[in-house]
Structure 1
Amino acid sequence: MESTQTVPINQKKTDKYPKSVPYIIGNEAAERFSFYGMRSILPTFLVAQFFNPSSNPAMQTMAEAQANEQTHFFVALAYAMPLVGGILADWFFGKYKVILYISLLYCIGHLTLAIYDHDLQGFTFGLVLIAIGAGCIKSCVSANVGDQFDESNQHLMSKVYGWFYFSINAGSVFATLMIPIIYAKYGSAWAFGVPGILMALATFIFWLGRRKYRKVPPSGIQRNNFLFISLYALANVGKKKKGESWLDVAKANFKEESVEGVKAVYRVLMVFAFIPIFWAMWDQNLSEWVLQAAKMDRTVFGIELLPEQVQTVNPMFLLSLIPVFTYIIYPFFDKLGLKTTPLRRIGTGLFLTACSFVIIALIQEQIDNGGSPTIWWQILAYFLLSAAEVLVSITGLEYAYTHSPKAMKSTMSAIWLLTVAVGNIFVSLVNSSIANKGFFAQLEGATYFWFFVGLMMAFLLVFMLVSGRIKERSFIVNEAEA
């Protein structure tokens, strides 16, 4: 039989986009500019302003470790907060109120950075406010896009999401090109003030569309969720019958469908257990790699780039590589009989991440020996890291979505973001140990990057042993058949 439209009789299919779309796209572009703009100069600013203002070579290693510790803690907090923001929106206040009011807190954070650019305690407080703001609204803004559509125009959703993600990368690219120049020419107050102005603009744009949005009301506290079911099962694990999963005992007090959904989440977590090491290394391209770039020959086609501007190649490579992998590389290997399953893609991505750090470690060895290698070597490392991002990040999001039931998809999105937080917490702790002359203080110069290469290879080996035993179940197929 031919498929039928699900559009109600009184609701005809339309090619008109929701009137709220321009406000959402404009808000996202300005917000991402503000976030990536301040983050682009954060590690170099912390070293120059607070941890080694006299540029004493004897203090540089410790100063960089302190800057990296604070930068990665900031990122970890920003990616832990989406879970909180999602709960606030879904259970209590709705997405619109959370985005609007938390954005005001976000603006205050930017203002605090600009005012306290000579006071470490005040500056750190500003970072915390920005992390809370950026994190809490992160889980709401993308979902708010989907909320604007109904049966009449849902066929336009993918195009709008395309523009939405384009605005994210556009904001990132322009910010990482412009803010380092402002920092170099006009100082830190303006360099942190301009992102604050953009965040205020983002909030204003969002507020302007207040009468255009379709606002989904909060649903209240959902009893049948991942946390409640897991805690109940752990508390009653002694009641488990032979042959049952430890989660099956929760079926006595929760919906069977929800318990099965939680089981699916734990299966995905077996894969996610290998993702934090990827983010621990990936996020160093916005901190440790920037500090390394400051010691390199950054001349590209006759133009000397600022250290913070080099990271711009990442989103550029990413946008170029996504269609290459999707339309060329994956189909090529599939035709050869080497099916590019999600687990194989992730494993390959982890390997490429290690390769990018091999290049960074070799660069650092030259720097440690007094050399000034060309920035083209670091750009090559960025290329490999961007390819790894396509293989790990995009595949991981797809895997989380397809291998979790409908009721648990939001939970999986939040847990995915938590893998970013966990990875950054680890790097923050390593740098804290270096700064305080602890166990990891032995990781000086190139040894630091070789440590992460070895760690990734160890994770990759375990991943190869475990991935073959992971049971895969696509809920897209099952839900479509239901």
Structure 2
Amino acid sequence: MLDQNVITTANEAPKYPKSIAFIISNEFCERFNYYGMRTILVLYMTIKLGYSDDTATVLFHVFTSLVYFFPILGAIIADSFLGKFRTILYLSCVYAIGSASIAVGAIPVLHLPAQSFTIIGLLLIGIGSGGIKPCVAAFGGDQFKLPEQAKQLATFFSFFYFAINAGSLISTYLMPILREDVHCFGDLDCFSLAFGIPGVLMIASIIVFVAGKALYIVKQPAGNVIVKVTKCIFNAISEKSKQSQKQLSHWLDYAEPAYGKEMVNDVKSVLKILLLFVPLPLFWALFDQQGSRWTFQATRMNGDIGFTEIKPDQMQVINPLLILVFIPIFDCAIYPFLAKIGLRRPLQKLAAGGILAGVAFLVSGLVELQLEKTYPVFPQPNESQPGKSSSFFVKSSPKALSFEEKIDKTKSGYPTIRVLSDLESVNFIKFVNNKGEESKKIVTHSINQFEILPSSYSVYADNIKLGDVELLLGGVYTIVISKSSSGGIEMKTHIITSPNSIHMLWLIPQFVIMTAGEVMFSVTGLEFAYSQAPTTMKSLLQACWLLTVAFGDVIVVIIAEAKIFQSQANEFFLFAIMMFIDMAIFGLLAMKYKYVKVNDKKDDSDMENAIPIEKTRKTFTNDAFQDD
């Protein structure tokens, strides 16, 4: 089609493509949707869908793994069949349907099978998000004429970076607030709204993307290097098996007659780098648990900071905030210092990042050990009631009520309360918060436990005030209402399980260490993969980098399903030890690797790839190539 964006005269530079505004807006909306949904996902699975922490962790990491498996498929579809524009459009529609499925399934009054809607929705989001991942930033790059617009292309990736982080930061901060502070359909929370708003943003991203169609430069599919490399490898294996008498120096040399010496040499270089990639998935196994295990850890902690209360899933916002701070600090101070002490090679930095991830999990394990001291102690299992506790409420009338006592902390972190009344004349008990709002009203004959928002409450029997009670996060309480010795009504509050006592801010050190490791691992790893890859194989190496993330999440699934430990702290320590051993193996492989000298002069075909990859992980790498 006619290039309307770069019309120039002999004496003026090409104008900045107007189409970029639509691509940047599309990216903001899509990232807002992805991060907003992902931030609250594990809590939705445990609080509303009834999954255990282990099952929710497995589903979360299976979903994340799919997001990183599907970019391979998306790249093949875009480069070999549909082109980038149609691939983005079609898979974005799949993506939007998945987001809508989760949001609609979360509306309780519809009485839909929420578990099924959620699983189907996550599968569709995995296909859509993963499929468009290798296409959007590259499609933005297609809008520029190179080398004339190389500087303008660099500014595009800066804008792209801003859109990614703006969408991530806003949604990661905002969605937990909508989830917890908005009450809908009679519930203490509103997951349907917290999923629905990101879903609306996803639909908006499609509308914005289509609106810019008349301005886009749309390139036709030109074949996919992943397919070519795969065919080359299979050809070499096939030819080697046929020519058993002829021995060549390398097994890939058997593909040289069909694919040429240059192609074969490029594949050899790629395989050497891929060998170094083998230990890398374990880093992502640790890193991605910020959205699962570490979020569950936060639910058992106290988030009160006086003027507001930190939500457990809001702790994830620390990572993108610290990324913005750490990148210039590392570039200006940390890396020059490390160079002075001999740690300057990319693979050395990458190994250091992995070690930091292991240290972060040691810290999280130590925090968990302190948290375990605050957990309720369950009675020893026996044959009649394994792992359960029963209570009896003896009333003044000649009868007693027995019930199973639930003493564990809630999945949401909200306090749990049970009200027991020995007054036949009282019809209801109500709780009025410190704002004068009626929060809960129950009939007196009920002995069911219920969750309530943490606050100070005035307790009334009918309209008679009995007293005040403060209900804190994580606490399990029983309130007994009976006649006093003087003939009046008295209220006694019993703390069955102590409220959360360790503050959520104690999680900050492990987030800080993990983010520092991320900067050294992810940014350096992508730069290494790009600089060491042959010119024709750079996109293949980026796709393989994404697969390390996918396999990392598979590792979490395997360990969570194995249920090796009852103690979460021990599981954290296991991951830390595995990470240290893994980096030792990586170090041995790195010592044998011979670096390829990078030619500073790049041809025009290489410039488009060169700019984004040498940025940070959160610029082009975090979302165009590697979302967390």
TM superposition score normalised by structure 2: 0.70
Q: Is the 8 A contact 1:92 1:221 kept in 2?
A: no
For the residue of structure 2 that corresponds to 1:182, the secondary structure is helix
Q: Is the 8 A contact 2:65 2:554 kept in 1?
A: yes
Structure 1 segment 66-465 matched on structure 2, within 5 A: 66-117=55-106, 119-151=114-146, 152-184=148-180, 185-186=182-183, 187-220=190-223, 225-238=228-241, 239=243, 242=247, 244-300=249-305, 302-334=307-339, 336=340, 338-370=342-374, 372-434=501-563, 440=564, 442-465=565-588
Choose 264-273 or 349-358, whichever is displaced more: 264-273
Q: Is the 8 A contact 1:72 1:428 kept in 2?
A: yes
Superposed CA deviations along residues 373-407 of structure 1, whole A, max 9, x for unmatched, are: 22222111111111111111111111111111121
Change (3 A) 1:462 1:165: same
Q: Is the 8 A contact 1:352 1:388 kept in 2?
A: yes
Change (3 A) 1:134 1:237: same
> Aligned partner of 2:174: which letter?
M
Shift of residue 224, structure 1, vs aligned partner: 7.3
Shift of residue 159, structure 1, vs aligned partner: 1.3
Q: Is the 8 A contact 2:176 2:194 kept in 1?
A: yes
> Aligned partner of 1:274: which letter?
P
Q: Percent identity between the aligned chains?
A: 34
| Distance of 1:368 and 1:124 partners within structure 2 | 32
Q: Is the 8 A contact 1:405 1:475 kept in 2?
A: no
Shift of residue 87, structure 1, vs aligned partner: 0.6
Q: Is the 8 A contact 2:8 2:14 kept in 1?
A: no
Change (3 A) 1:270 1:213: same
Choose 117-126 or 392-401, whichever is displaced more: 117-126
Q: Is the 8 A contact 2:361 2:575 kept in 1?
A: yes
Change (3 A) 1:237 1:475: farther
> Aligned partner of 1:351: which letter?
I
| Distance of 1:373 and 1:277 partners within structure 2 | 29
| Distance of 2:101 and 2:38 partners within structure 1 | 15
Structure of higher CA gyration radius: 2
Q: Does 1:40 align with 2:39?
A: yes
Change (3 A) 1:223 1:125: closer
Between Structure 1 and Structure 2, the one with more strand by share is 2
| Distance of 1:64 and 1:158 partners within structure 2 | 43
Shift of residue 296, structure 1, vs aligned partner: 1.2
Choose 236-245 or 128-137, whichever is displaced more: 236-245
Superposed CA deviations along residues 345-381 of structure 1, whole A, max 9, x for unmatched, are: 1010011001111111011111111174222221111
For the residue of structure 2 that corresponds to 1:338, the secondary structure is coil
Q: Is the 8 A contact 2:350 2:524 kept in 1?
A: yes
| Distance of 1:182 and 1:326 partners within structure 2 | 37
> Aligned partner of 1:101: which letter?
Y
Change (3 A) 1:223 1:424: closer
> Aligned partner of 1:282: which letter?
F
Shift of residue 333, structure 1, vs aligned partner: 2.9
Change (3 A) 1:9 1:105: closer
| Distance of 1:51 and 1:467 partners within structure 2 | 45
Choose 213-222 or 342-351, whichever is displaced more: 213-222
Shift of residue 318, structure 1, vs aligned partner: 0.6
Change (3 A) 1:466 1:92: same
Shift of residue 303, structure 1, vs aligned partner: 2.8
For the residue of structure 2 that corresponds to 1:211, the secondary structure is helix
Shift of residue 300, structure 1, vs aligned partner: 4.0
Q: Is the 8 A contact 1:13 1:153 kept in 2?
A: no
Which ranges in structure 2 are unaligned for 5 or more consecutive residues? 1-5, 107-112, 184-189, 376-500, 607-628
For the residue of structure 1 that corresponds to 2:215, the secondary structure is coil
| Distance of 1:190 and 1:224 partners within structure 2 | 42
Which ranges in structure 1 are unaligned for 5 or more consecutive residues? 1-6, 53-62, 435-439
Superposed CA deviations along residues 241-267 of structure 1, whole A, max 9, x for unmatched, are: 656122111112112211111111111
Superposed CA deviations along residues 254-308 of structure 1, whole A, max 9, x for unmatched, are: 1221111111111111221121001010000011111101111223464320001
| Distance of 1:223 and 1:73 partners within structure 2 | 24
Structure 1 segment 51-70 matched on structure 2, within 5 A: 51=50, 63-70=52-59
| Distance of 1:365 and 1:127 partners within structure 2 | 33
The residue aligned with 1:466 is: 589
| Distance of 2:229 and 2:326 partners within structure 1 | 35
| Distance of 2:165 and 2:226 partners within structure 1 | 37
Change (3 A) 1:283 1:410: same
Change (3 A) 1:477 1:273: farther
Superposed CA deviations along residues 142-164 of structure 1, whole A, max 9, x for unmatched, are: 11121111033222111110110
| Distance of 1:8 and 1:333 partners within structure 2 | 47
Aligned-pair RMSD on alpha carbons?
Answer: 2.2
| Distance of 2:142 and 2:569 partners within structure 1 | 48
| Distance of 2:305 and 2:256 partners within structure 1 | 62
